[in-house]
Amino acid sequence: MKMMKKASGYKPFLFDYTIDACEFMRKRNQPFAKIVWNLFKHLSTVNHTCPYVSSYCRLKAHSRNKTSLNINATFLEPANNIFVKVKLMKKANGYKPFLIDLTIDACEFMRNRNNPVIKIIYKMIKDVSTVNHTCPYVGLQTVSDFYDIRIPVPLPTGEYLLLGDWIFDAKAQFATNVYFTFVED
């Protein structure tokens, strides 16, 4: 949370505060977060603790043009009903929707692998992740050193954003936003 004040552009003002939202929802013992929560809780559908623990989500720079993605999350409860909203955006005076905008049943996909668009994404991460099996997902789930991206479809050179909204049992849980630059050969 950050409050900004407009003064020759927006500048930090009064507070710049980071909290672990899942930890707060479990204990609610942080006074400042409690004040903010009480102001907005009537507007929110988030009134439960998280069914996962995000240990880390990091980018590691190997060189100027090579960065790897590492994600580590522990699912505290078995996840059997997972939907993912996937949207691809292309940068053109801001990010605009581009080609992909769909919602998939992730458990169904892992059983049948019948969606050609998601199959492309899955093939890129299957060898570096533990999410390469059917539901349920429980315990530690990882993506380690993901960097080698070979996209088998022609995309124009540009900057892209792949958005993923993860929904477990009809409740939004977390989002993944992957920014990347694609250069045609």
Taking the domains of the chain in order of start, what are their residue ranges? 2-43, 52-182
Give me the pLDDT at residue 54, please.
59
Question: Which has the higher per-residue pLDDT, 166 or 51?
Answer: 166
Question: Is 70 exceeded by the pLDDT of residue 172?
Answer: yes
The fold of the 52-182 domain, in CATH, is: Ganglioside M2 Activator Protein; Chain: A, (2.70.220)
**What pLDDT, in 10s, does the model give residues 28-87?**
777 777 777 777 777 766 665 666 565 778 888 888 878 888 988 888 888 999 999 999
Say yes or no to pLDDT of 109 above 80.
yes
Q: Is the pLDDT of residue 122 over 70?
A: yes
CA distance 154 to 74: 35
Q: Is the pLDDT of residue 101 over 90?
A: yes
- Asked if 92 and 168 touch (Cβ cutoff 8 Å), the reply is no
pLDDT of residue 107: 95
Q: What is the mean pLDDT of residues 109-113?
A: 94
The reported pLDDT for the residue numbered 155 is 84
H-run or E-run covering 125: helix 116-125
- What are the structure tokens assigned to 131, written together? 């999410």
Please count the CA atoms within 13 angstroms of the CA of 19 that sit on its side-chain side.
20
Q: What is the model's pTM?
A: 0.68
